[in-house]
């Protein structure tokens, strides 16, 4: 399985959300690691078509600790520009990213979480899931035993209606 590494926080996902969380943790001197199965901004690199444009104008595309962009504020970034933007951000904030690291399971422990990867086990007290909205959830069979009165959701069932949640 490899080594066991202790850190305060593990962030799963090195896209814009995971990197922004890394920036905020660094601001607070909280030790952490960002685990990414591929490269920084992997989903943008591998799951988007080249002609895609960001749906928000450049003026609204900001990340904490990043200087204002010199790009046209009324323009819309292309997919390659978004990849470059995320890459530049990771480099600028010097995020502690471990690329090529696939998380295979996360288990609650008495003092936090054990994050099992193909490169070892990370033990942490806090965990941030920043893996994006379109990943497939692995729901254990035990979930079938949860009574219907308990509302459960996965990334693939969110958002849910108020009626579904019984609100």
Query: Which of 31, 28, 30, 44 is CA-nearest to residue 79?
Result: 44
Q: Would the pTM of this model clear 0.85, i.e. be above it?
A: no
- How far apart (Å, rounded) are the C-alpha atoms in residues 72 and 92? 21
User: Tell me, what's the pLDDT at 164?
Assistant: 46
User: Tell me, what's the pLDDT at 9?
Assistant: 97
- Asked whether the predicted pLDDT for residue 1 surpasses 60, the reply is no
Structure tokens at 126: 């806090």
- How far apart (Å, rounded) are the C-alpha atoms in residues 120 and 117? 5
Going by the DSSP 8-state scheme, the letter that residue 56 receives in this structure is S
Class of domain 4-133: alpha beta
pLDDT class of 165 with cuts at 50, 70, 90: very low
Residue 63: which region, alpha, beta or left (left: phi > 0; alpha: psi -120 to 50)? Answer: beta
For 32, list phi and psi in degrees, rounded to 5.
-160, 170
Structure tokens at 106: 């996360």
- Asked whether the predicted pLDDT for residue 5 surpasses 70, the reply is yes
- Give just the sign of the alpha carbon dihedral 72, 77, 81, 87: positive
- How far apart (Å, rounded) are the C-alpha atoms in residues 4 and 8? 13
More confident: 127 or 43: 127
* Helix pair angle (79-93, 16-27), 10° resolution: 20
More confident: 14 or 45: 14
CB 102 within 8 A of CB 115: no
Helix, strand, coil shares of the chain, percent, nearest 5, are: 25, 20, 50
User: Tell me, what's the pLDDT at 131?
Assistant: 85
CB 1 within 8 A of CB 73: no
Q: What is the pLDDT of residues 66-120, one digit of tens each?
A: 887 778 889 999 999 999 999 999 999 999 999 999 999 999 999 999 999 999 9
Q: What is the pLDDT of residues 52-64, one digit of tens each?
A: 888 889 888 889 9
Q: What is the pLDDT of residues 11-35, one digit of tens each?
A: 999 999 999 999 999 999 999 999 9
More confident: 131 or 162: 131
């Amino acid at each position: 399985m490899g080594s066991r590494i202790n850190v305060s926080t593990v962030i799963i996902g090195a896209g814009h959300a995971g990197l922004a969380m890394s920036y905020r943790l660094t601001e607070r001197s909280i030790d952490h690691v960002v685990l990414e199965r591929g490269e920084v901004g992997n989903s943008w690199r591998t799951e988007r078509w080249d002609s895609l444009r960001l749906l928000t104008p450049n003026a609204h595309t900001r990340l904490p600790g990043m200087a204002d962009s010199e790009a046209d504020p009324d323009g819309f970034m292309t997919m390659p520009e978004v990849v470059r933007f995320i890459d530049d951000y990771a480099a600028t904030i010097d995020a502690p990213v471990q690329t090529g690291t696939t998380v295979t399971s996360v288990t609650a422990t008495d003092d936090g979480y054990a994050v099992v990867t193909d490169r070892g086990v990370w033990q942490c007290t806090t965990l941030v899931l920043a893996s994006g909205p379109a990943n497939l959830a692995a729901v254990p069979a035990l979930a079938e035993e949860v009574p219907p009165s308990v509302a459960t959701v996965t990334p693939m069932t969110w958002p849910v209606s108020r009626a579904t949640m019984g609100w």
